[in-house]
């Protein structure tokens, strides 16, 4: 059999690799210099990835490799990169969200945002299975492996994926609202529902609006919010809620306010508890950047942190990222930002590692042994990383020493999902 790549433009492969390696090398050197010496001392030009003209041919060959079942060989010859694909992403991107680990190397995730028609999938190793088209949202508890599945006007909770049914919640107030995030409590008997029309605490007989609160004129007040975000502590003792126009608030498990945390950048955007619940981090953003602070658990009750003010009640965790999603491991947080970076940062603000993927990070989940990490982006790409396994190629941007098993291009107007 004639070698496909020798017969079909070996110069494309050579140029892709030579320019890709050089670009990654220059970016890594620039970022390392900026982190060590301060960005104000960087005098060089920003590196450019000059492979846009190769993208159409590379994508054509990628699709052919998928159809002919030789993706592994293609991946070795054409290590993936983000920048050359930007013209494709502008037309075909869609958000990959609500990633949740099931077991072994299996996860569930959704394609599409809260205001779009979504499609849910199972990813088992590298095999994709479509789920019921009526699924609107999927959530997983912080502990005890409880899953919640939302369909039209109903949310069901289960003990484990496809496990025993715990409870069905028939929705009224929130039935027709797109769900940004769905978080079941650890016993499956309550839910936290995050939407652009308010954040709700749902129990068997009640859909209680817990954010925003109506503290003004009834006629002028609206529950519509932007940048809506919320989280639960791992033991479900605390709820945190926030959005663009309202400070983050710490609530008890029934939705009663215990404390408030004003933004130290412009707009409250994200919150997360450490795995042992000893710390809460909150992120506020300004354009594509942001600032993250950490509050220790002994200060949750009664805390009042004013916006844009120094306080002994918090420590600065990060001063760069506009955080969209994140998770907590045993040792650190993994946070995904607007620029397509994922970073590991500990509870004292120490930067452990960073890894660049490209496109805003829109979803993330990790295996129970904390070795496999799956990341979804708004560019319509799902990545699987093996943490600490070592770089797979010389095109990797970052210092995390991680190995990418594969990425899936889950694009609009495509006949199938393309593996790279």
Domains and CATH numbers, the chain: 1-96+341-420 (no CATH), 97-340 (2.130.10.10)
Three-state SS string across 4-69, please? HHHHCCHHHHHHHHHHHHHHHHHHHHHHHHHHHHCHHHCCCCCCCCCCHHHHHHHHHHHHHHHHCC
What are the Cα distances from residue 212, in Å, to 13, 76, 269, 325?
Answer: 54, 51, 14, 21
Between 47 and 219, the more confident residue is: 47
pTM of the model: 0.96
First CA to last CA distance, the chain? 23
pLDDT of residue 215: 78
pLDDT digit string, tens, across residues 97-122: 999 999 999 999 999 999 999 999 99
pLDDT of residue 214: 87
Is 22 in contact with 28 (CB distance < 8 Å)? no
DSSP 253: T
pLDDT of 197 above 60: yes
pLDDT of residue 218: 65
pLDDT of 4 above 50: no
pLDDT of residue 220: 77
As a whole number, the mean pLDDT across the chain is 95
pLDDT of residue 289: 97
pLDDT of 1 above 60: no
């Amino acid at each position: 059999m004639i070698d496909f790549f020798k017969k079909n433009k070996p110069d494309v492969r050579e140029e892709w690799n030579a320019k890709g390696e050089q670009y990654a090398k220059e970016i890594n050197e620039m970022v390392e210099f900026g982190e060590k010496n301060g960005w104000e001392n960087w005098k060089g030009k920003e590196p450019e990835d000059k492979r846009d003209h190769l993208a159409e041919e590379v994508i054509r060959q990628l699709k052919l490799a998928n159809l002919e079942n030789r993706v592994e060989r293609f991946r070795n010859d054409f290590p993936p990169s983000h920048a050359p694909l930007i013209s494709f992403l502008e037309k075909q991107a869609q958000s990959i969200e609500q990633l949740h680990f099931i077991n072994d190397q299996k996860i569930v995730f959704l394609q599409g945002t809260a205001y779009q028609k979504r499609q849910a999938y199972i990813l088992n190793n590298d095999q994709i299975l479509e789920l019921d088209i009526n699924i609107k949202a999927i959530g997983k508890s912080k502990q005890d492996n409880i899953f919640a599945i939302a369909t039209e006007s109903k949310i069901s909770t289960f003990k484990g994926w496809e496990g025993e049914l715990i409870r069905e919640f028939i929705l009224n107030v929130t039935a027709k609202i797109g769900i940004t995030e769905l978080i079941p409590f650890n016993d499956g008997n309550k839910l936290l529902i995050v939407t652009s029309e308010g954040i709700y605490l749902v129990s068997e007989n009640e859909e209680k609006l817990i954010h925003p609160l109506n503290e003004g004129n009834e006629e002028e007040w609206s529950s519509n919010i932007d940048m809506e975000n919320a989280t639960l502590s791992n033991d479900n003792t605390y709820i945190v809620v926030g959005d663009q126009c309202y400070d983050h608030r710490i609530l008890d498990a029934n939705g009663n306010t215990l404390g408030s945390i004003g933004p130290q950048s412009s707009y409250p955007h994200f919150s997360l508890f450490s795995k042992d619940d000893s710390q809460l981090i909150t992120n506020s953003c300004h354009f594509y950047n942001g600032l993250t602070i950490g509050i220790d658990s002994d200060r949750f009750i009664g805390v009042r942190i004013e916006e844009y003010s120094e306080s002994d009640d918090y420590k600065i965790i990060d001063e760069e990222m506009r955080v969209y999603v994140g998770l907590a491991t045993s040792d650190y947080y993994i946070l995904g930002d607007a620029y397509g970076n994922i970073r590991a940062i500990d509870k004292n603000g120490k930067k452990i590692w960073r890894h660049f993927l490209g496109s805003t990070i829109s979803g993330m989940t990790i295996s129970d042994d904390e070795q496999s990490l799956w990341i979804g982006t708004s560019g319509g790409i799902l990545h699987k990383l093996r943490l600490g396994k070592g770089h797979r190629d010389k095109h990797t941007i970052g210092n995390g020493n991680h190995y990418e098993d594969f990425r899936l291009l889950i694009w609009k107007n495509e006949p199938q999902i393309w593996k790279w």
